[in-house]
Structure formats: C-alpha cells, structure tokens
Chains A and B, each alone.
Chain A
Amino acid sequence: MVKSRSFSFSKVMLVLGLLFLYLPMFVLIVYSFNASRLVSVWAGFSTHWYGELFRDEQILSAVWMSLQIAFYSASMAVCLGTLCAFVITRFKKMRGRTLLSSMITAPLVMPEVITGLSLLLLFVQMAQTIGWPVDRGMATIWIAHTTFCSAYVAVVVSARLQEVDRSIEEAAMDLGCTPLKTFFVITLPVIAPALVSGWLLAFTLSLDDLVIASFVSGPGATTLPMVVFSSVRMGVSPKINALATLIIVAVSLIAFIAWYLMRRAERKRLQTPDA
C-alpha cells in the first residue's frame, strides 16, 4: 500500500468535510429543542415546538399531499426508469436509443427552473389544445416528478443491469422460458435491490422538490417544501427546526437500516465461496 503525506492530508480533509456536512444539521436538531423563539438564545430544553408542529393543519395536510405524490411518482419512475435502463444496456442497436439516452440523462443536471417552466408551458398548451389538465395540481406534479425521477432510477438500475450474468438469462430461455418469464424469474430478483434503492431515491427527490412543483402546481395543491419555503422566507422559525429534525431522524434511520441490510448481504456473499 502506498502511504504518503498526501494520504494523511486527505484523511484530515475527510474528517473536516464530514464535520462541515453534519454540523449545520446538528445545530438545527439542538435548536429544535430550544424553548426560546430566538435562535441565538438558549432558554432551556423544551419540546414545545414539536407540539406546535403537530397542531399546524397546513403543514400536516402538506405532508400528506407530498407523501402521496412522492409515492406515486417513485412507483411510476421505477417502471419508466427500468425500461430506459433496459434499452440503454441491452438494445445496443435499436434506432432512437441515443436520443432516449440523452433524454434520460439530461434531467440529472438540468436546472430546475428550466424543467419547471417548460413543463408548465406544456400543461398550459395541453389544456388549450386537448382540454386536459383543467386544473393543475397533484396530477401535473406527479407527471413532472416522474419525469425527472426516472433519470435517477435509470442510472441506478443500469449500473445493476451491467452486473447481471447474462448467461443465466440465456440458459433460462434455452430451457423454454419466454423473455417475459425470464425477466420475472431471473432478472427481476437480481436487480430487485437496485429497484428498491431507485424507488427510495426517487421518493426522497420527489418529497424534496420545491422549484418544479411550484411551477406546475395549481392553487389546490400545496406540497411540504412549498409550505416550508414560504415560512422560511420570513426568517428562522423553531417550528421548521422541529420539522427538520424529524426529517433528518427519519432519513438517518432508513439509511442505517439500508446499511445494516447491505452489510448482512455482503457477509452472506462472502460466506458462500462460489457466489
């Protein structure tokens, strides 16, 4: 192993970088238990703001709205993203494949204001031409989120598809499996972990999106980030700190469970010699 001065320098940077990433979130969590309304003054421990949070009807209904949209968007994005990943990794000679792969990777970096504006213009035009959507709201946000989340799912799933041993699929088909059955019996179980992580990623992306949702939403649909944003614009609020703490705790828990499962799977794999 190469050991060098730059090696220890990078270690220090890693620790500092992680501190940089986590300290602000730590501060949010600590101040969510502050009794005072002011951020800089510590007035003792209190869970007062959590009570306030759970009594806030507007936030609660926005949470429910966001969770619904995220669930539907993530599910649809997994279907579309997986199909895209299949085309990109398997159908090497298909016509139009290059266009598809450009369209699926572009949303990964496309500035949100552009995506949001362009989709809104589409919905307005559609309402004029075919009379749908009459009102913008959940359905339009769902379409918008599905579109950009599919890109992330396609990346995650195609990475996994590259690792699939094609000879097993070929064996199954030689033994008389139809391509569809081969997919469900052989391929799907192998790429299932990627589908789960793609779904989770799409879910968090959808939950988190403010800009695109603001463009394509109508008066009826207010998502959680929209409520948080309008409250945060006015300044720091302890209620938002409490909400932030809950989000951070929830995400950390899921990440911990994921890590635990991955570690267990890894150990199992190491125990079976020829896997």
Chain B
Amino acid sequence: MRRKLLPTPLTERVRAVLFNRRVVFGIPFLWLLLFFLLPFALVLKISLTSAVMAIPPYEPVFRWVDNTLSVVVNIGNYLFLLSDSLYIAAYWGSVKTAFLATVVCLLIGYPMAYAMARAPKHWQLVLLLMVMLPSWTSFLIRVYAWMGILGNQGLLNSSLMWLGLIEQPLKMLNTNFAVVLGIVYAYLPFMVLPIYTNLVKLDVRLLEAASDLGCRSLTTFWAITLPLSKAGILAGSMLVFIPAVGEFVIPELLGGPDTLMIGKVLWEEFFNNRDWPVASALAIAMLLLLLVPIVLFHRFQAREMEKHG
C-alpha cells in the first residue's frame, strides 16, 4: 500500500491522462480522421476542379479576390467521364472481370474451406498456414510468376508444344483470361479464410440430426451447411470483389491493350496524363460503385469484431 500512500502527483496525473478513455479513443480517431477521412474529402474537392499546368496541377475551388469569396465548382470531369466511351468500358470491364474472378474463387475456395473445416484438428492449423502462406509472400512476385508461365515462350506453351497438343503457341499472356486467372490466383486465400472460419464453427450436431432424420448428404449440404455459411461466403466475396475492381498490378502485367480496368485507367490518368482532377473523379466514381459492397463488408466485419468471445 506504500505506493498508494505516497502518490507523486505528477506520475499520477500522467497515468490518469495515459489511460484516459478519451485518449485511448482520441489518438486512433484523430489519426484516421486526418489520414483516412479527410483525404476522401480532398479527392471529392479536386474532382470538382479543372486541370491546369501548375504545381499542384489543379485550380483552387475557393478563391479570395477583392474581398469576395468565389467558389468555382466544375462538374466537367464527371460529364467527361460519361461522354467518353473509354471510361464506361473500363468501368464495365472492371465489374465484369472482378465478378467473374469472384465466382471462380468461390467455386474453388468453398470446397477447399469445406475440406479444411472437416479435416482432423491437428491438420487444420497446417492447412490454414498453407493457404495463407502465399498471401504473405510478395503479391507482385506471385503475379509475375504467371508471366513466365503464360508467355508465348513460357512454360505452359512449351510444355503443350512438346506434348504435341498444339502447333502454335496459344496467346494467353496479355489477355483478359490471364487477368481473371491472376486475380483468382492472388485473391483465393482471401476467399478461403472467411469461409473456413465460418464452417469450422458450424455445429456438427445439426448435420448429424439431419442425417439421422434421413437427409441425404447433398440435401443436408444445401439445406444446412450452405445457408449457415452465408456470412462467410459474403465476406469472402467482398474481400475478392472490391479490391479486384480497383486492381492495377494484375491488368498492367497480365492484361493486354484491350484490357480496360478502372484502376489501370486511373493510374494512367494520374501518372501519364498528369490529370489529377479526372483521376479524382474516377476515384469518386469507383467509390460510388463500391459503396454497397463496402457497407456489406463493414457490417460483417463489425459483427465479427464486436461479438463476445
């Protein structure tokens, strides 16, 4: 109790401040407000300006000249996006590619997660690590690996030709097929993981009850397992779909000139054309498209993080 009898006022005060709830809340809150929310407001602002040859390359929205505040809002960038078929095509191309990749991921990932959840306990950790390991190595390098496999002189074409199955090399690299394959490859672990976490919690007694009551295994699967793993499927699909829509690296490295995806167009608009306002308008357009999926994902994630263990 000595410590209680002799409290040095300063350390007590420091302690009180350090473990004040408001401080615990305030530090991350301010950080995220400044470095996450505020930037989006800026993107919105700059999407409403026009590009100029200056540093930074856009016109100010608010101007204070001769004691008058003038606000210049330019919706030209959005009209431009709507009028140019390139952007519509990129938008559509992104959604189509991401959707296709998500479906393929689900078709491969669900059975994998199912098998993992049914594996003996001591195997589960090993399998889990094996599925996650690739996602810890470099994303860029995993995409790059497919360049060496799919190329005209790549491993796949040379093997097929050696086997005599094809005469001419198939064009696989720089096609939309390669982009979908790349996305499936890179994002598969993100589909497997939430479905596995969901399936492993599934009450086996439900399945046993169903089979005792004479349910065929496939019926049991459709009637019990699948509906109960809905949350995992949804989370996995969002984890694949949302980043895939904005993907830049995969269409850049594996896609061809006809691969139009919004992430790649945004990058080119920003780095090659240095048109920041149009790039910002593209970002806002992409966000609008992803708003519903992001909200769905957030609701799932919030439930996961808040429930009592």
Chain B positions 107-155 with a Cβ under 8 Å from a chain A Cβ: 108-109, 111-112, 114-116, 118, 125-127, 129-134, 136-142, 144-149, 151, 153-155
Contact among A28, A159, A164 for B148, CB-based, below 8 A: A28
Q: Least Cβ distance of A152 to chain B in Å?
A: 11
Whole-angstrom distance from the CB of B153 to the nearest CB of chain A? Answer: 5
Q: Does B164 count as interface, using CB distance less than 8 angstroms? A: no
Q: Which 9 A-B pairs have the closest CB atoms?
A: A111-B246, A4-B217, A162-B309, A118-B39, A13-B111, A14-B115, A10-B115, A24-B145, A10-B111
A211 at the interface (CB under 8 A from B): yes
A178 to B15 Cα, complex, angstroms: 8
B217→A240 contact, CB < 8 A:
no
Of B21, B34, B115, B139, which contacts A11 at CB under 8 A? Answer: B115
A232 within 8 A of B: yes
- A18-45 CB contacts (< 8 Å) to partner B: 18, 20-22, 24-25, 27-28, 31, 38-40
Q: Jot down 14 A-B pairs with beta carbons below 8 A, ordered by A.
A: A40-B157, A83-B24, A88-B306, A105-B298, A111-B263, A112-B263, A121-B46, A121-B276, A164-B309, A204-B136, A208-B138, A208-B140, A236-B144, A259-B126
CB contacts under 8 Å to A, within B32-56, are: 32-40, 42-43, 46, 56
Q: Known: A107-B36, A225-B138. Is A96-B25 also a contact (CB below 8 A)?
A: yes
For the A-B complex with A40-B151, A117-B270, A210-B139 known, give 14 more contacts whose Cβ atoms are closer than 8 Å: A27-B145, A101-B306, A109-B243, A110-B242, A111-B247, A112-B263, A114-B287, A121-B46, A124-B56, A143-B35, A162-B307, A228-B144, A252-B133, A255-B129
B65 an interface residue at 8 Å Cβ cutoff?
A: no
Instruction: State the interface size on chain A (CB cutoff 8 A).
Output: 111
Given contacts A13-B108, A28-B148, A108-B301, contact A113 B115 (CB under 8 A): no
Q: Would A39 and B138 be within 8 Å (CB), given that A7-B118, A28-B148 are in contact?
A: no
Quick check: A255 and B133 within 8 Å, CB to CB?
A: yes
Is A176 an interface position by the 8 A CB rule?
A: yes
Counting contact residues on chain B (CB < 8 A from A), the size range is 35 or more
Interface residue? B297 (CB, 8 A): yes
**Which among A94, A102, A121 has the greatest number of chain B C-beta atoms within 10 A?**
A121
Interface string of B271-309 (1 = CB under 8 A from A): 100001001100100110010011001100110111111
Q: Which residues of A lie under 8 Å from residue B137 when comparing CB positions?
A: 25, 244, 247-248, 251
> Taking the complex as formed, is A150 at the interface, i.e. its CB lies under 8 A from any CB of chain B?
yes
- Interface check B168, CB cutoff 8 A: no
Q: Does residue A168 face the partner (Cβ distance < 8 Å to B)?
A: no
- Contact partners of B207 in chain A: CB under 8 A: 2
Asked if A69 is at the interface of the complex by the 8 Å CB criterion, the answer is no
- Tell me if B249 is interfacial: C-beta within 8 Å of chain A: yes
Bound complex: CA of A5 vs CA of B218, how far in Å? 8
- Judge whether B109 and A180 touch: CB under 8 Å: no
Contact at B252–A233, with CB atoms within 8 Å?
A: yes
How far apart are the CA atoms of A155 and B305 in the complex, in Å?
A: 7
Flag whether B62 is at the interface (Cβ < 8 A): no
- Bound CA span A112–B305, Å: 23
* Interchain CB contact (< 8 A) of B144 among A9, A85, A232: A232
In the complex where A121-B42, A255-B129 touch, is A104 in contact with B248 (Cβ < 8 A)? no
CB of B227 within 8 Å of the partner chain: no
Query: Which A-chain residue is minimally distant from B295 (CB atoms)?
Result: A102
For residue B185, CB closer than 8 A to chain A, the reply is: yes
* A11-B115, A119-B39 known; A100 vs B243 contact (CB < 8 Å): no
A53 at the interface (CB under 8 A from B): no
Shortest C-beta distance, B142 to chain A (Å), equals: 7
In the assembled complex, which residues on chain B have CB atoms less than 8 Å from the CB atom of A31? 148
For residue B25, which residue of chain A has the nearest CB?
A87
For chain A, residues 133 to 170, give those with C-beta under 8 angstroms from any C-beta of chain B.
143-144, 146-147, 150, 154-155, 158-159, 162-164
